[in-house]
Structure 1
C-alpha cells in the first residue's frame, strides 16, 4: 500500500471518529459548550482530554488505533463502513453485468431497485 493511500484511509477513519464523537458520543445536548462535550466524550471513552480533543478536531497528526475504533463502534453502534462499501460495490458490479446480458430488459427494474436501496443505505445515519 502506498503512503498516499495509507494516509487517505487514516484520514477517513479520523473523520469517522470525529463524526461519531460529535454526533453520537457527545451530541450537542450533552454539554453547554464544545469544551464540555469534549470532556464528556473523554469520560465516556476513557480517553485523555488531549487525545479526545485531537480526535474531535480531526487533527492531521493523529491516527486512530484499532482498539480506539472498536471502542467507538461499541459505544455508538456505528460501524466503520469500508467492508460494507466494498461489498456494495461488488453487488453493484454484478447488477451492472446483468444489464449487459441477453435479458437486460427483464433485469433493469430489479437493478434500478437495488441501486435505490444501496443509495439509501449509503446515506449518513442509515442503520
Structure 2
C-alpha cells in the first residue's frame, strides 16, 4: 500500500471515530461543554483524555487500530442496534395484528418479505437516524 493511500485510510478511520464520538458516544446534551463530553467519552472508552481529544478533533497524526474501531463500533452501535431491533419488532407485531383477519398465506408471505427487507436494510447500513 502506498504511503498516500495509507494516509487516506488512516484519515478515514480517524474521521469515523470523530463522528462516532460526536454523534453516538458523547452526543450534545451528555455534557455541558465539549471538554465534559470528551472526558465522558474517554472514561467510556478507557482512553486517556489527550488521546480522546485528538480523536475528537480528528488529529491526522493519530492512527486508530482495528481493535479500537471495533470497540467504538460496539459501544456506539450496540445500543443503536438494539433500539432499531426493538422498533422493527414492534412494527412487525403491528403488521401481524393488522393482517390477522386476512388470509393466512398472504399475511405470512408479506411478513416474511417485510422481515427480509428490514434485514437487508440493516446489513446495508441504510437505516435512518
TM, length-normalised to structure 1: 0.62
Greater alpha carbon shift after TM alignment, 18-27 vs 61-70: 61-70
Q: Which residue of 2 aligns with 1:58?
A: 58
Q: Which residue of 1 aligns with 2:3?
A: 3
Are 2:26 and 1:26 aligned? yes
> How big is the shift at 1:126?
4.3
CA deviations over 1:68-113 (Å, ceiling 9, x no partner): 11110110117xxxxxxxxxxxxxxxxxxxxxxxxxxxxxxxxxxx
Computed over aligned residues only, the root mean square deviation of the Cα atoms, in angstroms, reads 2.2
In structure 1, what is the Cα distance between the partners aligned to 2:55 and 2:12?
12
Q: Which residue of 2 aligns with 1:48?
A: 48
Question: Which aligned segments of 4 or more residues in structure 1 are displaced greater than 3 angstroms?
Answer: none
Q: Which residue of 2 aligns with 1:12?
A: 12
> How big is the shift at 1:66?
1.4
Unpaired segments ≥5 residues, structure 2:
79-119
Q: Which residue of 2 aligns with 1:82?
A: none
Number of aligned positions between the proteins? 86
In structure 2, what is the Cα distance between the partners aligned to 1:36 and 1:14?
20
Query: Closer, same or farther in 2 for the Cα pair 1:4/1:126, shift >3 Å?
Result: farther
Give the 3-state SS of the residue equivalent to 2:29 in structure 1. Answer: helix
Give the 3-state SS of the residue equivalent to 1:28 in structure 2. Answer: coil
Structure number with greater Rg is 2
